Amino acid sequence: MKVKTILVSQPEPKTETSPYFDLSDKQKVKIDFRPFIHVEGMTVKEVRGEKVDLNNFTAIILTSRNAVDHFFRIAEEMRFKVPDAMKYFCQSEAVAYYLQKYVVYRKRKIYVGTRTFDDLTKLIKKHKTEKYLLPSSDKLKPLIPTELDKLGVKWTRLDLYRTVVSDLSDLENVVYDVLVFFSPSGIDSLFKNFPEFKQKNTRIAVFGNSTVKAATEAGLKCDITAPSPETPSMTMALDNYIKIVNKK
């Protein structure tokens, strides 16, 4: 069956140069965006309940822009003045760049990984005497604590925000040819919103092994998967699939 409509379970890109817009123009398909999950900050009371003293740390590990936002939000709400000497270990350039929203970049000690958490651990390893704080969501990839424990550094996790299922009730009678997922939480949201969901002719596109696993365990057939050596991005995987099925 041909693909004419796609729903991407993420917010619409803010830049006009998104590869999704290019894909839509190139393949003449309609692409909609809708977050299946969203982030909510935890309250000061909840954070205090974790019994973590922010004064005890000399470095912060930041894995996402959400981690940046919620660390500085909580610091302000708890009236904690972040020391100028605090060191920041950012997983990617995008996270480091976003940090400038809160600190004067050139006046702070900021260490930047290339993209993955494994890359960042190489930098952390060179600073083993620091006391690290890891601002986190309620759902943390198991890889992160495992890698930090391997390094033998002193670190503490502090949950500052949680992943919440979005209300999708307005989509109940809307059918798309392809649904695109990027996390197990997205799959979870689909079935929490629509417990009776049946895949039928809907194609499922998934990014990452953990998402493939969640989709399969939920009884879904994964028609499009990424990344792979041939299709490192989701848009490339979609493009290849559409080329084949829309020719028929």
Distances (CA, A) of 69 to 74, 89, 98, 187, 198: 9, 15, 9, 26, 37
159: β partners: 136
Q: Which two tokens stand for residue 147?
A: 């890698």
pLDDT at 228: 92
CA gap 227, 207 in Å, rounded: 6
Which CATH class, in words, describes the domain spanning 40-163?
alpha beta
The pLDDT of residue 248 is above 70: no
What fold characterizes domain 5-36+166-245? Rossmann fold (3.40.50)
| Residues 167 and 40: beta-carbon distance below 8 Å | no
Same fold, 5-36+166-245 and 40-163: yes
Residues sharing a CB contact under 8 Å with residue 165, sequence separation 6 or more, in sequence order: 36, 37, 185, 188, 189, 192, 193
User: pLDDT per residue over 77-110, tens digit each?
Assistant: 999 999 999 999 999 999 999 999 999 877 789 9
pLDDT at 247: 87
Query: For the chain, what are the domain ranges?
Result: 5-36+166-245, 40-163
pLDDT confidence of 114, banded at 50, 70, 90? confident
Q: Which two tokens stand for residue 208?
A: 């990452």
pLDDT at 174: 93
Residues sharing a CB contact under 8 Å with residue 23, sequence separation 6 or more, in sequence order: 29, 31, 235, 238, 239, 242
The pLDDT of residue 4 is above 70: yes
User: pLDDT per residue over 116-151, tens digit each?
Assistant: 888 899 999 999 999 999 999 998 888 899 999 999
The burial of 184, by beta-carbon neighbours within 10 Å (0-12 exposed, 13-18 middle, 19 or more buried), is given as buried
